[in-house]
Structure 1
Amino acid sequence: MTIANGELDRVGGQARVLAATSAAASGPEHVEEPVAYDAILLASFGGPEGQDDVIPFLRNVTGGRGIPEERLEEVAHHYRAFGGISPINSQNRELKAALEAELASRGIDLPVLWGNRNWAPYIRDALTEANERGFTKLIAIGTSAYSSYSSCRQYREDYAIGLDATNLWDTLQIDKIRQFFDHPGFVQPFIDGVVQGLADVAAKGFTAAETHVLFSTHSIPSTDAAKSGPESRGFGDGGAYAAQHLAVAEVVIEAATTDEVTPAWSLVYQSRSGPPSMPWLEPDISDAMRDLAAAGTKAFVIVPLGFVSDHMEVKWDLDTEAMETAEEIGAFAVRVPTPGIHPAYVTGLVDLVMERVNGTPTADRPSMTELGPWYDVCRPGCCENVRLGFKPALAGLAP
């Protein structure tokens, strides 16, 4: 199948999924046919690993968006405060090693290849390695749990860009695991964290009535949020992105508390980077903290629900800026860990791969909200970027 020009191949008039295995090529919502994959593609955002990398990395991230250099310098300050080194690459090395150990312990022969979207090693490097090692069928794990352009479709576009860059359209097939926002392996670490966070707050003498749990995730443009997930689901203004976070937050708070001691909670956003004229999802976490403190809240449990590891936007936006806000308003705050390499998370990612290896029936796939299990093959038009339009993307039906 040659898709180098981004055109869809059609068989019998039925749209096919770009560079997919035969089991996924016709675009079923859930692939219940076993697939003998050769390797796992661990795909991440990437980050700089030294002061000289920071601006080139930020140019990669913002390429084509016309972001002025002075704005890049403002964001660079966050990285420079940590020596110009983003923790995300070291975290992915740890996750890769943890996945390899879990696979070995279960006798599963699937090598793990790692590639980033925005910094070395790039996705194209991982695809080149796959080809050199004779692998032809890859199952991708994108290190983002939710549905939106930035957290799902852009990864799928980058797989297509990687095939273009390596000229491997006719050689490699790439499927992906489903978005795992409500898989037990992703949710359990947050439940554990909230239990401990509430215990830490109580140990400081704060009551449940004085405490507020803030589930924080990356803000995205409101237009992108509205287009997240398939339109047929009718999620409303916040799209699947907001709906998924809210559903998971409800599960976490219910599992981590009892009726007698359940504190108030809300979904908040962080890390906005767009111009003031463009609406983004709100409220910002620091604004919410100020408003809640004015209404009597004295303690916060901050849950980085939208993140899989303690990368820069957790270390800066939460551990630095949100904690400064707490000090400013005279409140106590504790930040819950991200999944990282929590055993449940690592086991869960391997379980998600094995769903596709074994062709697990949809009814037997675990999900902790009524929204899942999410799709193996993304639906047509899912997670459109209104500003950029549709580009070729793998693991989903066009457009």
Structure 2
Amino acid sequence: MTGEATIEQRTSRKAPPAKDAPLEPGALVSAATEPAQGGDPWIETPVDYDAIILASFGGPNGQEDVIPFLRNVTGGRGIPDERLEEVAVHYRHYGGVSPINEQNLALKAALEAELERRGIDLPVYWGNRNWEPYVHEALTEAHERGATKILALATSAYSSYSSDRQYREDFADALEFTGLQGEVRIDKVRQFFDHPGFVEPFVEGLREALDELQREDPTLDLGRDVEVLFTTHSIPTEDANRSGPESRHFGEGGAYYAQHLAVSGVVADDVLAQLRERGDGLEQLNWRLVFQSRSGPPSQPWLEPDINDVIETLPEQGRRAVVVVPVGFISDHMEVLWDLDNEAKDSAAQAGLAFRRTPTPGTHPAFVSGLVDLILERVHGTPKAERPARTDIGPWYDVTRAGDCENVRLGFRPAIAGLQP
């Protein structure tokens, strides 16, 4: 279905996959603003955007929404409803309402307030991949209010198919579905895994969690008795290997693994330095990167180790407490509330370990300010050399490089904001 769809059809369901993401004559990037059409990695020319679209995963708003939402999430895989019910129990535990919706509304309001505080006149629209309001609804609303140059901000910090390319596919789907190809340009904010505004809330949260543990048990030796587990969503190993440009040679796990590992190291080093500065005399923090929320068949390799498996082994290593840092997530959505605050917490209790889970960035002032800084990078065309990055991997690209984040099962579907395919 293309631009001939009725208004009711356009706003009643998720947009179908686009058949094409056409290039304008001489352009290397589909639907991009003029400075980005040539495909340079970093765009250092100012762009007078009309609007921002905050793009997210989406979630159900009630019990009747749960299975239709999960059908959207798993679209094209032919998973029967009875198997979807195995996942639905997580949502049904919370009345069928995903917390991500209120979190996105709170983030949208915080972004609007920070933009206004800085005197920046850019309206923010919210659109989801898998539930209302959909991306195509946000795009339609922005266009009806006069926007033709839009900057997209996805609520995902790292490189992978689901956290990067799939959002770029969503925008291609929305442009084709609404018939706005050729009328609306959409660029996308770079992956922000190592931006200071994203990193700071994790540093603050880990330091406070360690302080709480030691206040409750003064005999606890932070350098010997505590394990810090930085956790993120597991993904199929083959998909992980395809994250990041081939020219970067990230190796096993691709950019997805390398980015998470690098950020975890920065957070741990920052906290260790702060504890040393106040005279704690620590020589090290015990930490590692773990994974959670696996959903694939046992025969398919996914990134490991699983957080619960690791927690089970900690007592035999002499640990008495575990701090879980959800470094792969920006808000307390279902994978955090269920998989960490229930399952991981239960695993720690069974292992006899004290447990702390640090906050996600959410609407932390440093995070919100950092997102606005990222928006202004594109508005002002900030040179790469002036863009902050806490790891040697970044700053990441404004225009996704060719071949990045392929989905092994689906291949390369039409997408925007990057070099083709």
Same fold (TM over 0.5): yes
TM-score using structure 1 length = 0.97
Report whether the alignment pairs 1:82 with 2:114: no
For residue 140 of structure 1, the aligned residue among 152, 156, 165 is 152
Q: Equivalents in 2 of 1:50, 1:10: separation in Å?
A: 42
Q: Deviations over 1:304-359 (max 9, x none)?
A: 00000000000000001000101111111100000000000000000000000000
Which residue number in structure 2 is paired with residue 225 of structure 1?
Answer: 240
Report whether the alignment pairs 1:44 with 2:56: yes
Report whether the alignment pairs 1:9 with 2:23: yes
Q: Deviations over 1:38-90 (max 9, x none)?
A: 00010000000111111110011001112232221110000011111110000
SS of aligned partner of 2:287: strand
For residue 247 of structure 1, the aligned residue among 254, 262, 268 is 262
Q: How does 1:67-216 map to 2 (within 5 A)?
A: 67-205=79-217, 206-208=220-222, 209-216=224-231
Unaligned runs of at least 5 residues, structure 2: 4-17
Q: Equivalents in 2 of 1:211, 1:33: separation in Å?
A: 48
Q: Equivalents in 2 of 1:7, 1:220: separation in Å?
A: 26
SS of aligned partner of 1:382: coil
Q: Please say which of residues 61-70 and 84-93 is displaced more in the overlay.
A: 61-70
For residue 266 of structure 1, the aligned residue among 285, 288, 298 is 288
Q: Equivalents in 1 of 2:128, 2:85: separation in Å?
A: 22
Unaligned runs of at least 5 residues, structure 1: none
Which residue number in structure 2 is paired with residue 398 of structure 1?
Answer: 420
Preserved CA contact (<8 Å) 1:367 1:373: yes
Which residue number in structure 2 is paired with residue 379 of structure 1?
Answer: 401
Q: How many Å apart are 1:207 and its aligned residue?
A: 1.3
Amino acid in the other structure paired with 1:341: T
Which residue number in structure 1 is paired with residue 305 of structure 2?
Answer: 283
Which residue number in structure 2 is paired with residue 361 of structure 1?
Answer: 383
SS of aligned partner of 2:259: helix
Q: Equivalents in 1 of 2:158, 2:130: separation in Å?
A: 19
TM-score using structure 2 length = 0.92
Q: Equivalents in 2 of 1:180, 1:81: separation in Å?
A: 32
Preserved CA contact (<8 Å) 1:185 1:347: yes
Amino acid in the other structure paired with 1:67: I
Which residue number in structure 2 is paired with residue 339 of structure 1?
Answer: 361
User: Between the two proteins, what is the percent identity of the paired residues?
Assistant: 63
Q: Equivalents in 2 of 1:326, 1:303: separation in Å?
A: 14
Q: How many Å apart are 1:241 and its aligned residue?
A: 0.2
Q: Deviations over 1:222-253 (max 9, x none)?
A: 00000001111000011000000010011100
SS of aligned partner of 2:53: strand
Preserved CA contact (<8 Å) 1:8 1:16: no
Q: How many Å apart are 1:263 and its aligned residue?
A: 2.0
Which residue number in structure 1 is paired with residue 32 of structure 2?
Answer: 20
SS of aligned partner of 1:182: coil
Question: Between Structure 1 and Structure 2, how many residues are aligned?
Answer: 395
